Amino acid sequence: MKQYVCVSGGADSTALALLLWERGEDFEMVFSDTGAELPETYWLLPRLARQINKPLRVVSNGSFYQHLVEYGYMLPGPRLRWCTRLLKETPLDRWFKEQGAEVVYNGIRADEPRRINYKRKPRCGNHVFVFPLVKAGIGKKDVIKLCGKYDLLNPVYKWRSNVSCFCCFFQKASDWKGLLKHHPTLYALAEEWEKEAIRLTEKGYTWRQGWTLEAMRTMDEQQLKLWPEPEGEPCLICTI
Ligand code: SF4
């Protein structure tokens, strides 16, 4: 049976792969690379593949930057999520269809009632989605424990709330600050793209409406508290 686990470098999908491996399941891992992943993710994924001795397939539909330029620097946002569709869903859908996938394991946890109904049916292909973490009653604590057991918890969690694109518009202020501290060149890159977006788009898109990364860089703690937190979270498919 052709069975796949979508991995993102996040704790949930890592724990899912470990759980299935411990159970002796036969599967391959698939990672959809947006070209804007954090370096820690590229570090973690080969370690995971080595630990469980399973193939890691990497799929892509072009890079974040490529699509950003094609969109005339129209930065993605909660109401304009072209990145999820083009960089995560499209390449994965294509892969599952081409490979004739039968089962796709999904890393939703048992303590995420809001997400449990997500993605019951595939957009294309004939595979079914299966939710082993939900079935096993595995929540956040167990996920962290399982990753820790094999020293496979993405180190990004030391300073960031989730594993997403470095420039994800769903980041909290503390995540952006963490990016500035741990990967200043990536922060500078996101800031540069934002400057181009302000210059080239009629609406003057910014990563967070009404705020710029340039301004944020120089904010003190008090000012930072005024930074609005995101009204949502990175796409599930990006963070499982
Ligand atoms: S992680 Fe964020 S920026 Fe990256 S594809 Fe998902 S929603 Fe878009």
What are the sequence ranges of the domains in the chain?
Answer: 3-161, 173-224
pLDDT tens for each residue of 139-189: 999 999 999 999 999 999 999 998 999 999 998 888 999 999 999 999 999
**DSSP assignment letter at 183:** -
The secondary structure element, H or E, covering residue 57 is: strand 56-59
Architecture of domain 3-161 in this structure: 3-Layer(aba) Sandwich (3.40)
End-to-end, the C-alpha distance of the chain in Å comes to 23
Q: Is 75 in the pocket of ligand 1 (CB under 6 A)?
A: no
Residue with tokens 């370096």: 39
How many other CB atoms are found less than 10 A from the CB of residue 101? 22
Pocket test for ligand 1, best of 65, 79, 238 (most atoms within 8 A of CB): 238
Structure tokens of 61?
A: 């539909």
Probe residue for ligand 1, chosen from 63, 162, 235 as the CB with the greatest number of ligand atoms within 8 Å = 235
Q: In which residue ranges of the chain is pLDDT below 70?
A: 117-121, 231-240
Q: Measured from the CB, is residue 32 less than 6 Å from ligand 1?
A: no
Instruction: For residue 219, give the nearest of 185, 183, 176 by alpha carbon.
Output: 176
127 lines ligand 1 (CB under 6 A): no
* pLDDT confidence of residue 227: 74
